[in-house]
Chains A and B, each alone.
Chain A
């Protein structure tokens, strides 16, 4: 949360989330190993990589859904996985998570989805909860369909409700899994701007998994690049920096939306003049 006396962005860059030598996988199958990075307070951090490189799996470990096989995740200097269950729950309440596609509770209306965390974890009156819930839905720009069930909302609206729900408890950290997937370019751009506004306003630290280049270049100021083949981090830095100065061929191909060197272009033979 920002303090009233300072302008966000001028605070010293403290480390909010420190990931050290993280290895994740399902059973004996390793997905990523030796993943290390630091997320500065107030930054928008991107976890990048091709489809199937384990971005979402790493994210699952960061939010505590998956216990890593090795490594540590320090939140405000506190080792998350070394804490007892109760403390982990408390830390978890400092996290807001937007799942892919929203993952809204389908039996509840949009308003109820956002209100539930407030009902569960605060002692606020129903009137106050309603005020805060409406405020959050306004913040994410959901002006209609607040009483609709998720099934009756469009993809973009569901995404917004998901974001409002993630913001329900005024989190210190926001984790976004493919936030602009399935949105049209204009909606995706609006969503990006919204995330930046919320970061600037509330001073939230954002970690997002994405392979939408426009989003990555537009709002992310730091990040890591995961490789599916070597199953670890192959580059650190902001997406823009990686595009400009990273020499790794895969990273270059990814950032410039090209095929990796050596891979034949499908249809090239057909297109070639005879």
Chain B
């Protein structure tokens, strides 16, 4: 006979009988009586479990009984222990006599079904080809869904302009204030610093060739064509795009979107259009603002670092930056704004319904917004080169 807990031998256990903390077994003919003693607290369950199998190891055991006269306070740990014994007795076709247990424990034990439910079989992990195929299908579906939403937005904007869509003006103004005025400090800070950094790096290089005066060209072209659109876009993707996605995702979680659908209010008119319109109109304006601040930042650094007059900086700037360049930037940021808003709305509207999904939607919106901006910028750069802008 195994002696699992021979070193701790309380409660007058007969030598050689199975024992655990809080219990020991006593053999009476063909019966095995489990004697329960002490307090059974939940935090002691590890100790209380002991070696259950030892109870059943004696050949010829017909029934399992209990003696709870020495039992102190008890809780679920005792119940868990009893449930394990009951299941083991059932498996071995040994009688389980509850009579010696406290009434309350018997009632609770009756609530616990026999064998614990078998965990659902884990499906085998998908192979590489399977995963690749799955990703392909998902990406394809996502492209179709995005194109559909884009088409709906274009049609919806047309309808709104003809005053046929039911977009509420107050929603549009709210979204514009949030995406426009609210973003001014952040856009100014980022663009001002980037303009200063471009000027700083440029000044060091140009000075080596004695080409100090061209710092205005460098800062002007860099800001107007690339830095201001991209930096403003990244700020807006991180700031407004994530806010759109998180807000819509949490509206989905609280069934507000379902309520809109059931009431017959088009999601496109109520949720998507105001945000897309607001961000696509505000982005070009923020770009102009950001570019101006960026050039000012570059100007401040240039004047401080190089021997340069304000007049010569302005003259070179006017020479380098044409209206066409600014229009190019405006067009680009219009697309940036549209992309950020549509992608964020799409992500929000298809998010899951739990609080984790709100966070996941915000992350996805930031990632897709920033990556999308870089890709669109690349496409514009190629087009501009081809068109000779």
Contact = CB atoms under 8 A, between A and B. Distances in A.
Given A107-B354, A170-B75, 15 more contacts: A4-B70, A106-B354, A107-B355, A122-B42, A124-B45, A135-B76, A135-B79, A135-B80, A135-B83, A136-B76, A170-B76, A197-B107, A197-B108, A200-B107, A202-B75
A90 interface: no
Interface string B14-57: 00000000000000000000001000011101100100000000
A200 B46 CA distance: 26
A136 B113 CA distance: 11
A84 to B, nearest CB: 23
25 contacts: A1-B75, A4-B69, A4-B72, A5-B71, A106-B356, A118-B42, A123-B43, A123-B46, A128-B49, A131-B49, A132-B76, A134-B116, A134-B117, A135-B76, A138-B111, A138-B113, A139-B111, A141-B111, A143-B117, A149-B354, A151-B354, A197-B107, A197-B111, A202-B76, A202-B108
A8 interface: yes
Interface in B367-384: none
B352 interface: yes
A134 to B, nearest CB: 5
Contacts of B46: 123-125, 128
A146 interface: yes
Q: Which of B70, B71, B80 has the most CB of A within 10 A?
A: B80
A201 B112 contact: no
Contacts of A241: none
Question: Chain A interface secondary structure, helix, strand, loop or mixed?
Answer: loop
Interface in A97-128: 106-107, 118, 122-125, 128
Interface string A1-34: 1111101100000000000000000000000000
B100 to A, nearest CB: 10
Contacts of A124: 43, 45-46
Contact of B45 (A107, A128, A149, A197): A128
A175 to B, nearest CB: 18
B104 A200 contact: yes
Contacts of B72: 3-4
Interface of B: 36, 41-43, 45-46, 49, 68-77, 79-80, 83-84, 102-105, 107-108, 111-113, 116-117, 119-120, 352-356
A147 interface: yes
Contacts of B68: 4-5
Contacts of B69: 4-5
Nearest to B77: A132
A2 B36 CA distance: 14
A201 B104 contact: yes
A138 B80 CA distance: 11
A262 B41 CA distance: 56
B45 A132 contact: yes
A8 B104 CA distance: 7
A247 interface: no
A139 B36 contact: no
B102 A2 contact: yes
Contacts of B119: 147
Given A128-B45, A132-B42, A201-B107, A106 B75 contact: no
B80 to A, nearest CB: 5
A49 interface: no
A4 B355 contact: no
A169 interface: yes
A170 B80 CA distance: 12
Contacts of A5: 68-69, 71, 102
A167 interface: yes
